[in-house]
Amino acid sequence: MALKQILLQRKINDSKKILETLREKDLEFKKREADLETAIGEAVNDEEKNAVEDEVNKFQAEKEPHDEQKSKLEADIASMETELEELNSKQPKNKEVEGAERSMPKAKQSRDTHRNEYYERSDVKNFYSELRERLQMRANGQVLPDGPSGAELIIPDIIVNRIRERIGDFTTLYPLVDKVVAKGRVKLILDVDTSEATWLEMRGALPEDDDSNLTAVEFDGFKIGRIVYIDNSLLEDSVINLDDYLTKRIARSIAKGLDKAIVVGEGSTSKQPEGILPAIPTVNKVTKKPKYEELIPVIGLIDTGEDATGEIVAVMHRQTYYNRIATLTLHTNSAGVDVVQLPNLSAPNFLGLKVVFNNYLPKDKVLFGVMEKYTLVERESVRVDMSGHYKFREDQTAIRGLGRYDGKPVMPKAFVEVTLDVSETPAG
């Protein structure tokens, strides 16, 4: 390794040590934040409320520069690692090693490297080591002690981020909608229908008037969560298996809740996001026979304003697709002979439109629309904590995953709800 790479690697290692210290500090901040949330709820008179407000301000004054320092350090490390990778790629390599690297797809190499780095992190190992110790104590009939600083065992941010990443593995709609990360209750000014730009001569002045359709939309932050129970059967499992069990179940549960809310969410009255179906205007709700000649014109009801952009997708229950839509490709010719044009069942589509399965959509309904016209606000990242006291009698430890989301279709006219009329036509 050349001197430049050695020096760069040293800087990366030193920076990672500092970052590790900052991440350990996160545990203290999480404990303080949880205590402040409790204090806010318990404050009764003005004196107590003012005292809590002072503590909140003090907390924010300490946490914000901490978060900024951590974010900057993470960005610096990523930049240095990229530079190091580029330098290493220019180094002459042993032919045998080079050939082996070429034989493995780059994407897989990257995933495997990221996966290995994750499981080798000290905070990941330490957490699962302590979790296993606590499970063993439970197996021996002991009451679990509280975690650091008198709190319950806190799950490191790296594991929380992994849960957040895995949410996308178990949802069909979450990757398609417009996502905004924000803190607290927010009001977004959304440019739902941007006007075209103005043509003018080289030195001409741009007009200052703007007739774009700006809409103020207020979003809250409703809780969604799931408790996962871990029992003694997982005591001997490796870090990998225990991590997969924990992160997969929490991520999958939250993902299913989001998918349901995006489609049929009942809105603020039920403390959840507003779904697409309840918001669709009456003129965009139609009943049609499951026939091409009736379904195709329906798509023309989709209105995204002057843009006329965005990918239109068809959302439906899995059974609706296989019972009603896929069979539309089966025809008979004028001679009465079956002409079979098999649908591509591995990549479901409706005349080229992507078909997305969502089993929270009622059967025999089809939702056509531009999914990016639905905005999902993530008020804070997924938060996970643990209790060793809950479910003690059942020899289980409770792991709770919580997220705060709100969402709504910012342009309801960009969606069409079709109820399929599957009644038999009387002979006549």
pLDDT score at 306: 73
Tens digits of residue pLDDT in 362-407: 999 999 999 999 998 887 666 666 665 555 445 566 777 777 888 8
| Residue 168 domain-assigned (yes or no) | no
Q: How many domains does the chain have?
A: 1
The answer to whether 233 and 245 are in contact (CB under 8 A) is no
The answer to whether 404 and 378 are in contact (CB under 8 A) is yes
| Residue 341 domain-assigned (yes or no) | yes
pLDDT score at 100: 45
pLDDT score at 244: 82
Burial of 275 (0-12, 13-18, 19+ CB in 10 A): buried
Pull the structure tokens for residue 222. Answer: 């409703």
Give the amino acid at 333: N
- Name which of 225, 219, 223 is nearest 179 in CA terms: 219
Inter-CA distances, 271 with 162, 230, 278, Å: 26, 29, 15
| Residue 318 domain-assigned (yes or no) | yes
pLDDT score at 393: 47
CATH of the domain at 411: 3.30.2320
Burial of 74 (0-12, 13-18, 19+ CB in 10 A): middle
> What is the SS3 assignment for 227?
strand
pLDDT score at 83: 78
| Residue 308 domain-assigned (yes or no) | yes
Burial of 176 (0-12, 13-18, 19+ CB in 10 A): buried
| Residue 219 domain-assigned (yes or no) | no
Q: How far apart are the first and last CA of the chain?
A: 85
> How far is the C-alpha of 375 from the C-alpha of 316, rounded, in Å?
20
Q: How many other C-beta atoms are found inside a 10 Å radius of the C-beta of residue 416? A: 23
| Residue 284 domain-assigned (yes or no) | yes
Q: Domain limits at 341?
A: 273-379+406-420
pLDDT score at 129: 81
> What is the SS3 assignment for 170?
coil
| Residue 328 domain-assigned (yes or no) | yes
| Residue 48 domain-assigned (yes or no) | no
In the chain, which stretches have pLDDT less than 50? Answer: 1, 93, 95-98, 100-101, 103-104, 107, 147-151, 189, 191-192, 211-215, 392-393, 427-428
